[in-house]
Structure 1
Amino acid sequence: MTVLVAVVTFNSERLLADLVDGLRAGLDGLAWHLTVADNASKDGSVAAVRRLAPDATVVEMGRNAGYAAGINAAVAASPAHDAILVLNPDVRLAPGCVARLLEALREPGTGIAVPHIVDGAGELIYTLRREPSVLRTLGDAVLGARRAGRLGALGEVVADERLYARERFADWAEGSTMLISAECWQRCGPWDESFFLYSEETDFALRARDAGLGTRYVPAAHATHLEGDSRVSPGLWALLTLNKVRLFRKRHGRVRAGAYWAALLLREASRAALGKRPSRAATRELLSPARLRETPGPASVARW
C-alpha cells in the first residue's frame, strides 16, 4: 500500500527537518510519498522542503488559502495512493506509527485511524472528541472541559485517561495526525474549504461517520504533537469558537444552532469575566452578527 503524506506549511521552516526525520521513522517499511502545500510562507519553507525531501511534491498555493484548501490541493496533486496521512508540520511520528494505523484501517467500518498523541513533555493529549451538542457545551461551561469530559453526556473532549488505553471509535479526533483510507476520501472528500482553519477535520470526520466510516483510535500507534497556539491566541480562539457555530448550523440548521450559540456565549462570557483574553475575544465575535455571517479567511484572521 502507498501512503500519501499531506502536509500544509505556513512559515514552518524551523519544523521541517525534524518532520522529515520523523516521517522516515514513522513510515519505515512502507511505500510513501510526501506532498507539501505551502500557503504563501514568507520564510524558507518551500526551499527547505525541496532540500530535505527532493522527491516530494510541492504545491505553492500563492496565497494563504487555509488548512482545508491546502490538504485538498495536496491530495489532488499527488500520485496514486491507498491512504492519506494528514499531518501537521509540528508532529513527530514514532517508529511503526503508520503501519499500525494502516492495520486499523482494514477493520470493518473504519475510514479514519488516529494515534495516541503526547505533547513535547510526554504528557497525553486528549485528542478524542464526542459530537458537539448544546448539553455538552453547557457542561463545559459549568464544569470545565476536563471535568465534563469525564462524563460522556456532558463533555465533548474525551478526558478520561482510561479510555485511551484501548482501541475504540470516537465521533471525531483532533486533526494533527489522521490516516484516511482512499475509499473514505472518495466517498466523503474533499474537506470543506469554507472553514479556513478549525472545524474542517470535525466536519470531515462526522460526514465519514454518517457514511458508516468511523474514526478509530489506535493506542499502539504513537506520535508527538508540539501543539499550536489556539489556547493562548485570542484571535485563533475566537476563530475556533465561531467555526464551531458554523459547523453546528451546517449540520443542524439555524434554529438548533441558535441554542448552541447561546451555550457557547455563556461559556465564553463566563470565562471572559474571569479575565481570560481568548474568551473576551470569542465573546466579542459571538455577539457580532457580521462575524457570524462571514466566511473566515486570512483578512478576517488578520483583523484579530
Structure 2
Amino acid sequence: MAVVVVTYNSERLLPDLIASLGPGLDGVDWHLTVADNASVDDSVGAVRRLAPGATVVEMGRNAGYAAGINAAVAKAGPFTALLVLNPDVRLTPGCVRTLLGVLRTEGTGIAVPLLEDGDGELIHTMRREPSVRRVLGDALMGAVRAGRYPAFGELVTDERLYTAETVTDWAEGSTVLISAECWDRIGAWDESFFLYSEETDFALRARDAGLATRFTPAAKAVHLEGDSKVSPALWTLLTLNKVRLYGRRHNPVLGAAFWAALLLREGSRAVLGKAPSKLAVRALVSPARLREAPGPHTVQRDAARATAR
C-alpha cells in the first residue's frame, strides 16, 4: 500500500501522525511518501528523522494539495491501494485493515472512516453532491439543520447515519483510501483547484464511473482539522472553488443559479458581521476573481485584505 501525506509547515504535527501509522496500518504492507510544498519550517527534516525509510518529494513551491498528492503517487511505485492522509490525522489501531475490507466491497472505489476531533467528538464527514437547493437550504436553515434533510443539506448531519456502513456522494479528504483500480480509471486529482473541492471532484468522478465512496464506522481516526471556517482567505477559496466545481459539471444556467445561491448565503452571513463571508462576497461579485486560477498568491492576498479591514 502507498501512504501519501502532503506537508506544508507541518513540523509540529508530524510526530503524532507518524507514530500512529504503525498501529493504524498493522497487518498491512505499506510505504510512506511525503510531498512537501516548500515548507519554511523543518517538515522535511522531521520526516527524515522520524521515518527514515520514507520517500520525500520536495515540490520546490507551494503547489497545492492535489499537486502534492499526484507528485507523491508518481514517486510511490506500484500499489494495490492508496491511503491519502492529512498531517493532522492520527490513525487508531487497525483502522486501515478495516478500511481495506470495506474497499473490497463490489462497486467501491473509495473507503473512508469515522472521524473524531481532538476532543473525541464526531466530525460530520459525509457529504451529498452540491446543488442549488442544498446551498439555499444551508442559507435559510444553517448547515447543521439543513443537513438532516437529504434534499436541503450537503453536509450529512444526522448522527444516526454515522452508526452503520453506507455509501455517500463524497467525504472530506483528510483520510481517504483509494483502490488502485479507482486511481487508474479516474486519473489524478485535479490540480487546478489548489485547495478545497479537489476531493469532491475526484469522488464525484469516481461515482460517475460506477465506483462509490463507502463510509464505515468500524474504522476510526482522529482529525484535528484546519482553519477554513475561521480564516477569511481560506473560506473565500473554498467558496470560489465550489462555484468552479459546480460550473464544470453543469450547464451555464445552473452554474449561474448556484453562484447566486452562494452569494445569497454568504451575503446573509456578511450582514451578520462574519468576516469570512464578507471577503467571500467580495470575491463572488468580482468577475476577475471568478476567472482567476486559485493558488498561494490568492490566499495570501485575501489574507492581507482581511487583516486590513
TM-score normalised per structure 2: 0.97
Please list the CA deviations of residues 72-101 of structure 1 after superposition, one character each: whole Å capped at 9, or x if unmatched.
000001121110101000000000000010
Letter of the 2:142 partner, please give it: G
Q: What aligned pairs does 1:91-102 form with structure 2 within 5 A after superposition?
A: 91-102=89-100
Instruction: For 2:284, give the aligned amino acid.
Output: L
State the shift of 1:256 in Å.
1.1
Aligned to 2:48, what secondary structure does the other structure show? helix
State the match for 1:133 in structure 2: 131
SS at match of 2:262: helix
Task: Tell me which of 77, 81, 85 is aligned to 1:79.
Answer: 77
Matched residue, 1:174:
172
Indicate the residue corresponding to 1:293 in structure 2.
291
Partner Cα separation in structure 2 for residue 292 and residue 22 of structure 1: 40
Q: Which of 120, 126, 146 matches 2:144?
A: 146
Deviations 1:146-201 (A, max 9, x none): 00000010000000000000000000000000000000000002000000000000
CA deviation digits over 1:181-239, x for unaligned, max 9?
00000000200000000000000000000000000001100000000000000000000
Matched residue, 1:248: 246
Which 5+ residue runs of structure 1 have no aligned equivalent? Answer: none
Instruction: Tell me the amino acid that sits aligned with residue 149 of structure 2.
Output: L
* Structure 2: distance between partners of 1:26 and 1:202: 25
- Opposite residue 258 of structure 1, the aligned amino acid is A
Of residues 159, 162, 165, the one that matches 1:161 is 159
Could you report, residue by residue, the CA deviation over 1:124-147 in whole angstroms, capped at 9, with x for unpaired residues? Answer: 000000000000000000000000
Per the TM alignment, residue 255 of structure 1 is displaced from its structure 2 partner at its CA by 1.9
Match of 2:203 among 191, 205, 221: 205
1:253 Cα deviation after fit? 2.8
What is the deviation of 1:43?
0.4
Shift of 1:29: 1.4
Show the counterpart of 2:274. Answer: 276
Opposite residue 221 of structure 1, the aligned amino acid is A
Residue 301 of structure 1: how far off its partner (Å): 1.2
Q: Distance in 2 between matches of 1:213 and 1:111?
A: 5
Shift of residue 254, structure 1, vs aligned partner: 2.1
Residue identity matched to 2:162: Y
Q: Which amino acid aligns with 1:57?
A: T
Aligned residues between the structures:
302
2:189 to 165, 188, 191: 191
Alignment match, 1:30: 28
The sequence identity of aligned pairs, in percent, is 72
Q: Give the match for residue 53 of structure 1.
A: 51
Deviation of 1:302 (Å): 1.0
| Match of residue 44 from structure 1 | 42
Alignment equivalent of 1:219, drawn from 217, 220, 223: 217
Matched, 1:230 2:212: no
In 2: Cα distance, 1:282 partner to 1:220 partner: 37
Which runs of no fewer than 5 residues in structure 2 stay unpaired? 303-309
Normalised TM-score (structure 1)? 0.99
Following TM superposition, where does structure 1 have runs of at least 4 consecutive aligned residues deviating by more than 3 angstroms?
none
Structure 1, residues 5-42: CA drift from partner, whole Å, max 9, x if none? 11000000001110101111100111000000000000
Partner SS for 1:14? coil
Q: Pick one of 13, 23, 27 that aligns with 1:15.
A: 13
Amino acid at match of 1:246: R
Cα distance in 2 for residues equivalent to 1:39 and 1:122: 30
- Aligned to 2:13, the other structure's residue is in SS state helix
Match of 1:104 in 2: 102
Matched residue, 1:115: 113
Structure 1 Cα separation of the partners of residues 4 and 213 of structure 2 = 18
**Partners of 2:3 and 2:252 in 1: how far apart?**
37
Alpha-carbon separation, structure 1, partners of 2:65 and 2:247: 21
In the alignment, residue 299 of structure 1 is paired with which amino acid?
H
